[in-house]
Amino acid sequence: MESNLTVIMPLNSLSDDNKNYFANAIESVSTQKVLPKKLFIVIPKGSDLKTLIESFDFNDDIKTILTIIENDGETDFCSQINFAVEKVETEWFSILEFDDVYSNIWVDNVIKYANSYSDVDIFLPIVLDVNTENQFIHFSNEPVWAKDFSEKLGFLDNDALLNFPNFQVSGAAIRTEAFKTSGGLKGSVKMFFNYEFLLRATYYDKKIMTIPKIGYKKVNMREDSLFWRYKNTEGEIIDPVESRFWYNTARKECYFKTDRGIKYETENV
Amino acid sequence: MDNTEEIVKSLKENVSKMENKDFSMYFFVMDTQGTPVASISNIYEHVKVLNELGYKAFVLHEKNDYVQKQLAFITNWLGGEYSELPHASIEDQSIKINATDFIFIPELFANIMEQTVKLPGKRVVLCQSYDYITETLQPGKGWYDYNIKDCITTTENQKEYIDNLFNNRINTRVIPVSVDDTFKKPSKPKKPIISILTRDQRDTVKIFKTFYIKYPHLKWISFRDMRGMTKDVFSKALEESCVSVWVDDIAGFGTFPLESMKCGTPVIGKIPNMVNGWMNDKNGMWVDSINVIPDLLSQFIQAWLEDNDPSEIYDSMDLTVNQYTTDIQRQKISEVYSELVTDRINEFNTTLEKYNKEENIQ
């Protein structure tokens, strides 16, 4: 069994404290029952990350599939992904954050479910959300399997998303073509870029299903992570009012395929 | 022609009729008012196979309106080939039971056993649930008191129980239930759904409420109460489910777990009062108390979500259910009913010999 999937890992920096996370993430790729076809690590052009990455003692499987891609454009999370997807040649891709891990069954299940549900464009994993102590907090992406959550058991639709925004895109297997034709991720929507993308995808009739298997483990609120900074870093803090603004923006912007670069202004709230 | 000659002639005709399958078999069924019952389904299966084997087998019901009401339901539940089987009604009084005919009476209906004592045909108890045997029997009475000497049941354990209960005065034969090809493994991966079937509905409620209280992070896992479904919907639901739960203390056979196994759906079940012969420590997760079922469910679901559920159970399920195919049941039906017919012919021949001897003596 062969996969037709590229893993994309965006990376802007890697402190000594976070090297373990990175190593674990890469190991979770190499221990897949079925290996992904490619592993892209996207870094800002000219950064010293390339040397750092090459200094890791990856096994042969990783060496075979790894490509380091240097991005000379914007280097926020969404731009890194959009940039990398343009380089993807496989039917599917999946985002792996450097502080998260796949479960070893994930790619194998993507293949199985893609064979059974050929019309699906995005397969979400059940995400195991843990804290930095690796303690279980909750699952994500699982509500679609609850009775009457959405129109069809196991599938995420636009109405369900309008009622319940908390879904995760990281770890998902996304059909490359569907991502491109939907317009990709919009960095301007701040912390609701996942939500906006899923709303847009469902609005444009992309089929989204959660594979009922634990496919991804996400570390929540790691120090210096994007959402941690939104909560703790002076100058980046997003208060509840702004948060509400971005939530509403996501719901309005999902009808547009291009990122219209909406800015937060208090008079817009 | 004196009376003896008439009797001899009649006996010879009976033997000839039986050898030519020119007699009827009536299988009494109760009107379940639309509720699917596995034992009724099994009776219909016997009737279907017997007709295919060239016998004249009828489903016998009490009231005429069974045809209007219950048959429509049988069509939905079991399919048109079952509702189109020959039916006969007691109420319309058109049935004439001959000495060559058979009446098969479910174990629950001791009153019917009593009411039919004087009928000339052979009566046989069809016992699918040992727990109902004494339900309507008068105190101190056994089936033999109603001149019934034969029984067909579905498991060796029930046969042993019947032998023991009636002090080996009933000749009991075993025809196992089959699980037909309506039940099959799904073409798509299974879903996080738990199929549950309990004899007492309060057990269903208790299990799923306990599960959700103890394991709130699994609240998104749906339970599906399997009561009252048509066979197609029932089998489809079992196919989709990743695990099933079964609680039936008085089960005689336990069709549901086998149907579940055939669908590739592992079963968490409470061991019934009479352990089913097919049950072993590898083909399911069998427990002594329903109180541990929610915990076991949580463990199984967790393993299933991680693709870590034990593969041995699936292999063992296949081995078990392969012993209950329609071909095996068909073969057994053919053998057992043929034996009953042979026994009846022998009875006629024995009587015939008696008359022949008397004639020779004279």
Alpha helices in A31-166 (DSSP H): 49-54, 60-65, 77-85, 106-116, 158-163
- Whether A268 shows a pLDDT value over 60: the answer reads no
**Interval A199-211 mean pLDDT:** 97
Name the residue type at position A23: A
The shortest C-alpha distance from B206 to chain A (Å) reads: 19
Question: Does residue B250 register a pLDDT over 60?
Answer: yes
B74-88 pLDDT, tens digit each: 888 888 899 999 999
Would you say residue A13 has pLDDT above 80? yes
Between CA A60 and CA A150 the distance in angstroms is 43
* pLDDT at B361 (0 to 100): 65
Decide if pLDDT at B190 tops 70.
yes
> By percentage, how much of chain B surpasses pLDDT 70?
98
pLDDT reported for residue B2: 65
Angle between helices B255-262 and B231-240 (to 10 degrees): 60
pLDDT at B362: 60
Query: Do B307 and A142 count as a contact with CB atoms less than 8 A apart?
Result: no
- The fold of B191-321 is Rossmann fold (3.40.50)
pLDDT for A266 equals 64
Mean pLDDT of B262-282: 94
Q: Across the interface, which of B187, B192, B217 has its CB nearest the CB of A212?
A: B192
Average pLDDT, chain B: 93
Q: What is the pLDDT of residue B53?
A: 97
Alpha helices in A126-219 (DSSP H): 158-163, 176-182, 193-203
Which domain covers residue A66, as residue numbers? Answer: 5-268
Chain B interface test: which of A108, A153, A155, A166 (most B C-beta within 10 Å): A153
DSSP three-state, residue A93:
strand
DSSP symbol at B263: T
Task: Please give the backbone phi and psi of residue B110, each rounded to the nearest 5 degrees, phi first.
Answer: -65, -30
Average pLDDT, integer, range A133-146: 96
Distant-in-sequence, close-in-space partners of B200: CB < 8 Å, separation ≥ 6? B247
d(CA B98, CA B108): 24
How do strand A208-219 and strand A101-102 relate by DSSP bridges?
antiparallel
For domain B3-176+327-361, give the fold.
Rossmann fold (3.40.50)
pLDDT (0 to 100) of residue B195 = 98
Tell me what the mean pLDDT of segment B308-315 comes to.
94
Give the pLDDT confidence of B284-301 residue by residue, as tens digits. Answer: 999 999 999 999 999 999
Q: Judge whether B3-176+327-361 and B191-321 match in fold.
A: yes
Rounded to an integer, the average pLDDT of A86-94 is: 98
pLDDT at B276: 82
Q: What's the whole-number mean pLDDT along residues A133-154?
A: 96
Q: Which long-range contacts (CB under 8 A, 24 or more apart) does B268-272 make?
A: B268/B243, B268/B244, B268/B293, B268/B296, B268/B297, B268/B300, B269/B245, B270/B246, B272/B248
Mean pLDDT of the region B138-160: 95
pLDDT for res B255: 92
Q: Which residues of A touch B189 (CB under 8 A)?
A: 112-113, 116
**How would residue A86 be classed by pLDDT, with cut points 50, 70 and 90?**
very high
Give the mean pLDDT of A20-35: 96
The string of pLDDT tens digits covering residues B87-136 is 999 988 888 999 999 999 999 999 999 999 999 999 999 999 999 999 99
Task: Show the beta-strand stretches assigned E in chain B.
Answer: 24-28, 56-61, 87-89, 102-106, 122-127, 150-153, 171-174, 191-198, 222-225, 241-247, 267-270, 285-287
In this prediction, residue B34 has a pLDDT band, given cuts at 50, 70 and 90, of: confident
Q: What is the pLDDT of residue B94?
A: 83
Q: How far is A144 from chain B (nearest CA, A)?
A: 8
Which chain A residues touch B307 with a CB distance below 8 Å? 105, 108-109, 213
pLDDT higher than threshold 80 for residue A131 = yes
Confidence of residue A267 (pLDDT cuts 50, 70, 90): low
pLDDT greater than 80 at residue A80:
yes
Lowest-pLDDT choice from A173-177, B74-78, B305-309? B74-78
Higher pLDDT, A186 or A264: A186
Based on its alpha-carbon atoms, the radius of gyration of chain B, rounded to whole angstroms, reads 23
Query: Percentage of chain A with pLDDT > 90?
Result: 82
Chain B CB contacts of A113 below 8 Å: 189
Give the model's pLDDT for residue A200: 97
What is the mean predicted confidence (pLDDT) over B190-211?
Answer: 97
Side chain identity at A153, as an amino acid letter?
L
Helix (H, G, I), strand (E, B) or coil at B154: coil
Q: Which two tokens stand for residue B353?
A: 């010999």
H or E element, residue B15: helix B3-19
Specify the CATH number for the domain of residue A84.
3.90.550.10
Average pLDDT over residues B24-50: 91
CB-side neighbour CA atoms (13 Å) of B325: 7
Facing A214 at nearest CB: one of B219, B221, B305: B305
Q: Cβ of A132: how many Cβ atoms within 10 Å?
A: 14
pLDDT score for B354: 87
Domain ranges of chain B: 3-176+327-361, 191-321
Condensed to tens digits (0 to 9), the pLDDT of residues B217-241 reads 999 999 999 998 888 899 999 999 9
pLDDT band at A56 (very low <50, low <70, confident <90, very high): very high
Q: Domains in chain A: how many in total?
A: 1
Question: Cβ of A146 and B222 within 8 Å?
Answer: yes
The pLDDT score that the predictor gives to residue B117 is: 93
**Side-chain half-sphere of B149: how many Cα atoms within 13 Å?**
7
How many whole angstroms separate alpha carbon A165 and alpha carbon A187? 17
Query: Least CB-CB distance to A105: which of B220, B222, B307?
Result: B307
In chain A, which residues have their Cβ closer than 8 Å to the Cβ of B216?
Answer: none
Q: What is the pLDDT of residues B319-341, one digit of tens each?
A: 999 999 999 999 999 999 999 99
pLDDT surpasses 90 at A223: no
Measured between alpha carbons, how far is B195 from B156 in angstroms, rounded to an integer? 28
More confident position, A225 or A203: A203
* Per-residue pLDDT tens digits for B164-180: 999 999 999 999 999 99
Instruction: State the nearest Cα–Cα gap between B270 and chain A, in angstroms.
Output: 26
**Tell me, what's the pLDDT at B269?**
97
Of the given ranges (A112-126, B3-17, B136-150), which has the lowest mean pLDDT? B3-17
CB contact B311 to A (< 8 Å): no
